[in-house]
Chain A
Amino acid sequence: MRRVECVVVGGGLAGLAVAGRLGRLTGRDYSREAVRARGRLLHRDGFRRVMDEMFRFGPGVYDLADEQTTLCRCEEVTVGEALAAIREGAAHVNEVKAWTRVGMGRCQGTHELITNPKFGAYSKVGHDQVAGIETPDDSTVRVRLKEPFAPFMTAWGDTYIVPAHILEGAADPNTHEFNTKSPVGTGPFRFGSRVAGDHLVLLANAGYHGAAPALDRVIFKYIPDLTVLYTQFKAGAVDVTGLQGISAEFYAEAKSLPGVTVHLHYTPAVEYVYVNHGNPKFKELAVRQALYHAMDKRAIIDQVYYGLPKAVEGYLPATSWAYNAELPRHDYNPDRAKAILDEAGWKPGPDGIRAKGGLRLSFSNATTAGNKLREQTQALLQQNWRAIGVDMQINNMPAAVIWGEFYVKSKFETLLVGIQASVGDDPDCLNRIHSKYIAAKTGSGRNVSQYENPQVDRLLEDGVREIDRAKRRAIYQKLQEVIRADLAYLPIFSYVRIEGVKQGIVNYRPNPYTQVNNWNMHEWGWRA
């Protein structure tokens, strides 16, 4: 127990030592100043010395403590637990505190932060279901949920623990310098330095509890332009292309580059045309079926995306354990589309555009302005649909506009959008398609297409309540079948991620369920 002033003096002492080592202070100056500082410390530290004297441990107290002795009553940490932490590698009293919470109180810092309404966490999935967290022993965390929620483990797999002792007392956890300047953690790498918007340096963490990483240092370079990223990769300045990787148009060339390996794998994101079910034009299944039949998927995939993505019928990628491979295959058939519309009573008007009961089949389609591939896709769709008497106008907006209220509050007619509906590798998509999650109506959720189907709602609810994987698989296969039959969305293809890796890097293993493929970076290394 020391007074605040002592810390200041202590800091001064450290500064003197640094100056001495650097040769900015002569030895004599250093000892004179240091003696003075130590004097001040003794003077100010009086309180501590008195306390120490008064509450001195009697002789032999340490010998009385055994593994079962409680060291910290609030947190119920025993001597044994603290010693175990030290054996596992805690090198400093602060690390023991961080590991065992000895003398800390309230251990759910990360969870509390995520559920803090003032904190802008990227995702709160699962955390809103937590009823309580217990730590029965030093290597177990037990989480109790309010009700069964099967995707919970996946959601927590994507949660990163932050130090409560730093953020607990922060006035505003959003702007705390932990986020930008001084992050700490217990992973294989530790924070080195960061130049905002340019790069981030990670250094191997010597105190890591697992096997030491093979790389001493990893640099994340921030290159927002994909063409620039590719040229730098080609020139050898980039070893691994992260995030969006290599654009489809460079794939053929990239494969032929010497000294690099190009990985191609499907991601859980699917490109869709979203129709707004709140709009009377799209209420009828016949209209959605006709739009789907008239869509020339092959042309979109081959002509716009260089034949790389894979046509899909559902919201899950083929790699998912719940993927339903039996869904009816899309059939490009404009004549069938016309017949369906004729039958449903949508007759072409004098301008060639079909109408029924005063409602014209004319609508707008929106996507992010400047996304060249999507703009080309729109042009193809426009032609496809025009051929069956449906008029589509293009209404694109910058990202900062379209993905705000326009999207969340379902103000679009149709949307061209790429979405990962599932949570990690869990097939749950409650938030995207359950009728309770229509933000325009209920205030929360991302069911922006305003799709409502009681059967789908029920399946989704059963899916998260069921823990047995075989039973869940049956539920989600049924769900995919129902969504496909009802054409809740018009799916186009499953995205591919193209990643370039310099030869010589070992243990690079793509995992489609992570945002960036550095999930096993601690295993990467350079071939000797």
Chain B
Amino acid sequence: MRQYLARRVLQAAVVLGLVSLAGFSLLHLAPGGPAAIYAMSPTMAAEDLDRITRELGLDRPLHVQYLSWARGFLTGNWGRSYRDGRLVLEVITDRVPATTVLMLSAFTVAVLLGLAAGIVSAVRQYSLFDHLATSLAMVALSIPTFWLGLMGIYVFAILLRVLPPGNIGTVGADFSLPDRLWHLVLPAGTLGVVMVATWSRYTRASMLEVIRADYIRTAHAKGVAGGAVIFKHALKNALIPLVTLAGLQLPLVFSGALVTETIFTWPGMGRLFVDSIGYRDYPVLMGLLMFTALLVVLGNLVADLVYGAIDPRVRLA
């Protein structure tokens, strides 16, 4: 087991190195650069622009810039944002709580509802419920998030005026839990709808496969009660492939939803990413990239470890 972990960590280090290299090159090869923000100022002289470029170190060869960034990254110095001079780590960690709250609530709702719908659909295959759930899932998967979000705002915030049109809490009010939850409903609901669809589809497929297995028939034949067969024998096994799905979705939880956060003016990491791209804020972008990559690697590792724990057929070595 220890050897297995060591190997995985080593693999992760290599993956992160490659990700950073690819990300860094792509960012810097894309046309334009952070100096364009300064160029907007009417009186900024061309020589001043050159000087700023030099001070930001952007005139050095790309590999030198990469090495200096990598050295900083490894020693915990992720640089400063070009936009307001704050430390990158601080800029990112500022945004983590908002995104975590939003995504975890959407994720929880999606997993619970998705599992329930998936199980019922599988057990009562081709029933009215199954048909309904299947079509609704297709609709939910096909609707673009921004449209769903804007419709949500239009119906609940403008027509009915029962939910706020965005923001993490009432602007200017002190922190209060009910207020926060009230603001969470629309964005988490919007995100949740798409996730529910995915989860119900996966659960249904996985359950159907398991339900037809011999040991389920055996359980029924032995006279085990219907509910017990479904929850004790079938669900346990059907969950195994879903762990992979969870492992893949976990990083999403932290990287945030670009569109949802923009529509609902949610101060999370997704919006930070969008804003930073517009400014070519390289240090923040690299920070976000590495942060997300780290989570993907971790998410996969955790999923594999959980796999080993819940599936006796899988041996980690």
Contact = CB atoms under 8 A, between A and B. Distances in A.
Interface of A: 117-118, 120, 122-125, 172, 174-176, 179-180, 195-199, 201, 217, 219, 221-225, 227-228, 231-232, 234-235, 237, 397-405, 407-409, 431-432, 439, 443-446
Interface-centre pick from A232, A404, A446 (highest chain B CB count, 10 A): A404
Given A179-B85, A180-B86, A232-B265, A400 B46 contact: no
Given A224-B262, A400-B278, A407-B39, 20 more contacts: A123-B41, A196-B91, A197-B95, A219-B171, A219-B172, A221-B167, A221-B171, A222-B265, A224-B274, A227-B150, A228-B166, A231-B150, A231-B153, A232-B165, A400-B33, A400-B280, A401-B31, A402-B36, A403-B36, A446-B42
Given A219-B171, A231-B154, A237-B164, A225 B262 contact: yes
Nearest to B47: A443
Contacts of B45: 439, 443-445
Contacts of B165: 231-232, 234-235, 237
29 contacts: A117-B51, A123-B42, A172-B85, A174-B85, A175-B80, A175-B85, A175-B86, A197-B95, A198-B265, A199-B171, A219-B172, A221-B167, A221-B265, A225-B262, A228-B166, A232-B166, A234-B158, A235-B153, A235-B158, A235-B165, A237-B165, A397-B31, A397-B32, A399-B278, A401-B32, A401-B36, A405-B39, A432-B42, A446-B42
A431 B278 contact: no
A224 B275 contact: yes
B271 interface: yes
B263 A228 contact: yes
A380 B86 CA distance: 44
Interface in B256-294: 262-263, 265, 267, 271-272, 274-275, 278-280
A397 B33 CA distance: 12
Nearest to B156: A235
B157 interface: yes
Nearest to B281: A400
Interface in B43-80: 43, 45-49, 51-52, 55, 80
A195 B33 contact: no
A152 B205 CA distance: 73
Contact of B35 (A197, A221, A404): A404
A85 B178 CA distance: 48
Q: Which of B52, B55, B171: most chain A Cβ within 10 A?
A: B171
B126 interface: no
Nearest to B265: A223
Contacts of B209: none
A222 B261 CA distance: 13
B43 A123 contact: yes
Contacts of B48: 117, 444
A117 to B, nearest CB: 7
A97 B80 CA distance: 33
A439 B44 CA distance: 10
B43 A403 contact: no
Nearest to A238: B171
Nearest to B98: A198
Nearest to A218: B172
B161 interface: yes
Contacts of B215: none
Contacts of A402: 32, 36
B32 A235 contact: no
A397 B36 CA distance: 12
Contacts of A407: 39
Contacts of A400: 32-34, 36-37, 278-280
A201 B172 CA distance: 8
Contacts of B40: 403
Contacts of A176: 85
A118 B52 CA distance: 8
B129 interface: no
> Sorted from nearest, which 8 A-B pairs have the closest CB atoms?
A444-B45, A175-B85, A401-B32, A404-B36, A400-B32, A198-B267, A235-B165, A439-B46
A404 to B, nearest CB: 4
A263 to B, nearest CB: 22
Interface in B146-171: 150, 153-154, 157-158, 161, 164-168, 171
Contact of B43 (A125, A179, A195, A404): A125
Nearest to B45: A444
B94 interface: yes
A259 to B, nearest CB: 12
B291 to A, nearest CB: 16
Q: From A117, A120, A124, name the one whose CB has the most chain B CB atoms within 10 angstroms.
A: A120
A219 B173 CA distance: 11
Q: Which of B43, B85, B95 has most chain A Cβ within 10 Å?
A: B43
B38 interface: yes
Given A221-B171, A235-B165, A397-B32, A120 B272 contact: no
A228 B262 contact: yes
A177 to B, nearest CB: 8
B275 A197 contact: yes
Contact of B32 (A172, A398, A432, A446): A398
Interface string B235-263: 00000000000000000000000000011
A363 B164 CA distance: 49
Contact of B36 (A118, A227, A399): A399
Contacts of A443: 45-47
B84 interface: yes
A195 B154 CA distance: 27
A231 B166 CA distance: 9
A398 B33 CA distance: 11
A439 B157 CA distance: 50
A225 B263 contact: yes
A235 B36 contact: no
